[in-house]
Structure 1
Amino acid sequence: KIRTLTFERDLLLDSISKLENTNKLTDEDSDSDLYSDISDSEDDIEASTGAKSKILKKLAFRPSSTTLHRSQPTTSLANTTAMSLPPTIHEPAPAPAPHKRSRSAKITVKTRRVQPIEREADGRPKLPQQIGVLTVHNLGTIVTDRPNFHNERYIFPVGYTVSRTYPSMVDPNSNTIITSTIVDDGSDCPRFHVTAADMPDEPIIANSATGAWTVVVRRSNEIRNRDHSNSASGPDYYGFKHPTIANLIQDLPGAKDLKQYVWQNFEEMEPRAAKGVMAAAEKKRGNLEQMGNANRKILPIKGEVVFVDELGENEIPEEDEIVASDREE
């Protein structure tokens, strides 16, 4: 019995010594069993012998583990101890860094087919030229010393100009020609100008192609009381997504010096396929000029002219026309 008491005394003294050596640790730094089962105050350690024995037994016989399995306390000292102890701290995994959108998103490069282009004797494209539902007037000049004049997918040449037929923003019963241009005002970013032929003194100017064309789509819908989405794809309306136009821009001097731009692969389509594509584009341009929608056609019924969708379905929203009409792949 004396040996047992001596052993318990030595073990208790050793525990007190450990507590004194670790009393400077913060809660976050301590995950030991000692902090889990004994209070770090000396008043609690000098409590009744029965409580000491229970604590010592837990110290001597519990398996080594950093996970806390707390049993229901049976004495007032145990209750006091449990209330004063900090909970076991499991070191949390480092919080993931906030997601940042990559400026160099991975672009899937595939070979895109382009239609044959009429060229001058020196190899330059003849302009103006009809491509899809757009008329390309000027390919512009690539800016290489300001990174905002291109991105991974598109190049924004200064002076680039295209036009197309679109429903008027001032007359609900007519269409107009809308010209889209890229302008350099001397700042770090290009400016996108969209001008309607029936509103020549009121150009729409924005910092992006989508920003400019969203205004056009919204005004065109509002004047006709059309409950359509006003969203617009600027790269579609400007022609940047059209493979043939994208190829012509990529062929401009300076394109290879652009650091962010991902080089695209193009191949000229077979003559038979090209003929069909150009015939379809011409038909769509005619539909646009007559009805403002490339995907409708005139269907005569009992001497009347009726506008219907080519598939006999509801009219495609204006902002989606060019996407549907310019598919070549």
Structure 2
Amino acid sequence: MPEDTEQLESALDAVADELYGVPPDEFVGARDAAVKQARERGDRELAKAIGRLRRPTKAAWLANLLARHRTAQLDGLLGLAAGLADAQRSLDGAALRQLSSKRHQLVAAMAREAGRLAQEAGDPAAESVLRELQGILDAALARPEIAEQVRSGRLTRTLSYTGFGPESDPDAVPAPAAPAAPPAEEEAPAPPADDEAERERLRAERNRRAEALAAAEDEEAQARAQADADESAREDAATAREDARRRVAELQAELEAAREEERAAAAAAREAETAAKASARAVGVAASRTARARARLEELDER
């Protein structure tokens, strides 16, 4: 990687770390100030890169607070993802219920902690925003790529996940509940004759539903990818428009300053011309006086 690119990324990282720590209402002003400082230093590439940083939603900012100030707790929550995925793939209902309950408790606790952090930062969060944060955390537990965004501390959007978790193993069958112990000195009842047929029916039904779920999740993923691309394009276009407006304002200011200089220079030129004419007249008057004085002196010498 070229050194200039490394320096640009390093400088941008430093600015982004600072910007995504301020409340959303202060983000745009802080970003514009950082853009101005970069331009004043002559670093236009950095200024453009900073200008493209997106303002986070309130819920995304809360997630960033957790990533910055409650890193260990957030990692503990996201660590449940592997267990949830295993339970979902193996259809282990008991484990899934236990982990889901723990997930709900931890997500709610993390949301409350984010609310306290926001209060300390002077920007309290409404209950609706805390619910949006819980949606972000649930999405992070379901999608590794979302978890990485949350861990980065630079999340900008309010994300949610409406699927049913990782794709299950098509060959898995529901984990049976532990059988009750048979009465003492009695043999356990024999399984029904059609037990294997029922298992086959359940497996076939399970496969059918898994295929339907996979198709639905693929469709959703494609729709979300398209929505993300369209949103990114929209925000890029908005950033470009803001940059263009800012540049127009700068050029207009420069033009007005140049016109003011022109007016001042024109006034100075007129004053200089008037002074030059007055000086020329003074020279003529002085020359006439000199000539008369010389003539009188010569007339006296001739006597």
TM-score normalised by the chain length of structure 2:
0.17
Higher relative contact order (CA 8 A, sep 6+): 2
Specify which structure has the higher proportion of strand.
1
TM-score normalised by L of structure 1: 0.16
